[in-house]
Structure 1
């Protein structure tokens, strides 16, 4: 496992705190089996291994690590030992995990009810707690959470001041999960900073709600600054979606045929082009007709694995987020993150301003660089 980017809270798990790690370095963990997933929050990281065991490191101001002390290395979350997680997710300073029997565990900040726990009965900083809700997938934003249950229903909790709960003008905050009645058979959900989007593979339909000040919901911002109930948007996609993911103010839609669509704010190059017009969908293309093998998104940057095992990045670069040698704060075009002695990359993950890459063979630190030799 390799990492780079922001490390001001030790969220890279390399046993040091620094403003940033500019080039990929190896991460050592206590994990004794293969890695399944990483989730990255504002300044913390969760690691899930193939056996469903959970580890965490980084910022712990609100108990988002699942234990008491801050850690600069991945430590086992022992309070959740014996529980088999299938997926994990992070918000800004809160966390969750879905178990193999579709229960949801939550911990960290509940300042806005984003954990779905009644504020009258729980503190603002919560130790790992199991909720009596059914969850198959989950996404967390800045201060809200959305889940899809086994029926394809969407349930939300937390801050709704910008409409991100989708429950109407009258529900601007909730400390319990509530069902959005208008949504059914939803297959994908993604929370941004103050917005939420959903996709239905059955309908081939996109639903959007929340903050639209940057036209990230594909509606005119002068007329629709905030959307308080889900709006169905026709984006003329007639196929299933592999991934729907969101940054703070932009989206990526990875389609079944490999097409990558993006829209929203582009002040940092997060759309992979130099166009500054919001409210329009763009195609992201990799050089030399490469196809997308996997895609991950941080708050304002993107990490992309191509089908020839090359790694590409673009967007916000203030903390060396992209892993390239470009010194500017913004990388506007897909730019190669070069591994001098490449090995097979199996998974990529990105968070607020940091990244993790999983490979199936070892590499020495001497063999890693991020020379910017190829650009789109």
Structure 2
């Protein structure tokens, strides 16, 4: 359903037939006495109209209803129990799709009340002083109403840059980096089965490249075969495979600034991080980033969205949009009303899910598995690359969190309900179950190929979906795994046990890869579990971890984890040196 708002015009209509020609002809045949009588009558009529206008305006002003006070929703009672989770996970009831963002009428200009003044052969409109006063009052009331309406609409905040620690965070990498996704140069196209500090970033931090002395990296995202980093200035850096424009910059036939007429080595341009200069030139201060297989997105501190790369369908490249196969430089693609901004973005393998400050959800990309929340006709799959709005159940139900798996999409509404749609062949959407206690909400969602992680507001992690490779992080003696009905997956979200309970060291960050997972706690511990074919778990020779294993210790050691990101076959960690 289109969200276009039809605007009503409040302009005063003037009948062009009401000119002064007939009056001019009649006036020539009348006597002076008649003219005087007519003038008196006209004056009396004008005074009567003027008084009537003021009365009507005063009546309208008096009758204008006072704006209703916003009623705060009562916070649900939080119980001390940590067992028997109870929040319902829902499937969208045929999500409604809107072709465009809702119209915004905040730019309407108040129209002055006008009175007609006859002149020779024409009619002109002008506002009286009383009319201007009335119009000014109406404009003030409308401005106040618009501001109140805007504040009511805004339920999600803009992304804010994190604090800049000193010493700054360092980049660690592990897994397979044979396509330059480690960002360590062509001499490090290898595999690391344990986290290794990136010397290139360490050197650039010392040089003050990332925002002055000691400035470092504040955000990371591992894609299919590429990596993204955001420094303290808000500049995005990228490295890895650029065949489908995932790096957000050109790497072929780039002129060498040091050698006239020469071009730069493409291996250097892809295996070392380089900035997305087009965003630097437009003063785009990135805060949040998301990386899929070959599609990427970034949100600025002002709520602007930029997207680059390409979507791939089952049979091959789908393209970036209806008119472009590859988008090598970041481009604005989502057209929102002027008072609505982007709050966050999540990336699946080949689709994007965007959440706005007004609680609206937009999706686009490949949609064969239903991950866009709308039906995509086979012969018109390119239409999926156009952003469209997803309505969970009704227009009034807004979202506060979005997430994505490889072929799934998720949202948490403002009432705490969790919604999921997309591929559900191994129950990875997790719909139809009550899994959280009263007062507990899902604050983050991250999915892999056939499983999904849910992080709750009390620091617990739940998982659902495929469970035959340690993806869910539950011990082998779990009743659901031992059940005769077990078919390789679990349909009801299960609680993942960590060495320290959430009451002592809650989880604050999660990331799900194809079959691997990471969780970071408030104390800086990093846990890994799942499958590891090329060292992406970082646990050395271990290729499978059924339950969360310590990668960075809470107590002891030299580093504490800030964040970790699972890529296609590599992993990135953001670590801080312990004092």
TM score, norm. by length of structure 1: 0.60
Aligned length: 312
Which of residues 169, 173, 177 is equivalent to 1:36? 169
CA distance in 2, matches of 1:323, 1:41: 6
Aligned match of 1:173? 326
**Preserved contact between residue 510 and residue 517 of structure 2 (Cα < 8 Å):** yes
1:270 maps onto 2:270 in alignment: no
Aligned match of 1:237? 413
Cα offset for 1:110? 2.3
Higher relative contact order by CA 8 Å / sep ≥ 6: 1 or 2?
A: 2
Aligned to 1:86, what secondary structure does the other structure show?
strand
1:293 maps onto 2:448 in alignment: no
Deviations 1:300-329 (A, max 9, x none): 211224568876543324457557899785
Which of residues 208, 212, 235 is equivalent to 1:82? 208
1:142 maps onto 2:293 in alignment: yes
**Preserved contact between residue 470 and residue 529 of structure 2 (Cα < 8 Å):** yes
**Preserved contact between residue 269 and residue 316 of structure 1 (Cα < 8 Å):** yes
Aligned to 1:76, what secondary structure does the other structure show?
helix
Q: 1:75 to 1:337 in 2, by over 3 A?
A: closer
**Preserved contact between residue 524 and residue 552 of structure 2 (Cα < 8 Å):** no
Q: 1:284 to 1:113 in 2, by over 3 A?
A: same
Aligned to 1:69, what secondary structure does the other structure show?
helix
Tell me the C-alpha RMSD between the 2 structures: 5.0
More helix by share: 2
CA distance in 1, matches of 2:358, 2:455: 16
CA distance in 1, matches of 2:369, 2:172: 26
Aligned match of 1:8? none
CA distance in 2, matches of 1:266, 1:220: 29
Aligned to 2:277, what secondary structure does the other structure show?
strand
Deviations 1:39-95 (A, max 9, x none): 658624xxxxxxxxxxxxxx4x44862544327763235578431243344434433
CA distance in 2, matches of 1:221, 1:268: 32
**Preserved contact between residue 39 and residue 90 of structure 1 (Cα < 8 Å):** no
Cα offset for 1:197? 2.8
Cα offset for 1:284? 4.4
List aligned pairs for 1:1-376, cutoff 5 A: 34=167, 36=169, 38=171, 40=173, 43-44=176-177, 59=178, 61-62=179-180, 65=183, 67-70=185-188, 74-77=198-201, 81-84=207-210, 85-118=217-250, 122=254, 125=267, 126=269, 128-133=274-279, 134=284, 135-162=286-313, 168-182=321-335, 185-200=341-356, 202-203=358-359, 206-212=361-367, 227-230=384-387, 231-232=389-390, 234=392, 235-238=411-414, 243=444, 245=446, 247=448, 252-258=453-459, 260=461, 268-272=469-473, 282=493, 284-286=495-497, 290=502, 292-299=506-513, 300-305=515-520, 312-318=527-533, 329=544, 331=546, 334-335=547-548, 337=550, 342-343=555-556, 346-347=560-561, 349-351=564-566, 352=569
**Preserved contact between residue 181 and residue 227 of structure 2 (Cα < 8 Å):** no
Aligned to 1:102, what secondary structure does the other structure show?
coil
Q: 1:66 to 1:190 in 2, by over 3 A?
A: farther
**Preserved contact between residue 167 and residue 180 of structure 1 (Cα < 8 Å):** no
CA distance in 2, matches of 1:207, 1:225: 17
Aligned to 2:246, what secondary structure does the other structure show?
coil
In structure 1, stretches of 5+ residues that fail to align are: 1-32, 45-58, 363-376
Q: 1:315 to 1:120 in 2, by over 3 A?
A: closer
Larger radius of gyration, structure 1 or 2?
2
Cα offset for 1:179? 1.5
Q: 1:346 to 1:100 in 2, by over 3 A?
A: closer
In structure 2, stretches of 5+ residues that fail to align are: 1-165, 190-195, 211-216, 255-263, 393-410, 417-440, 475-480
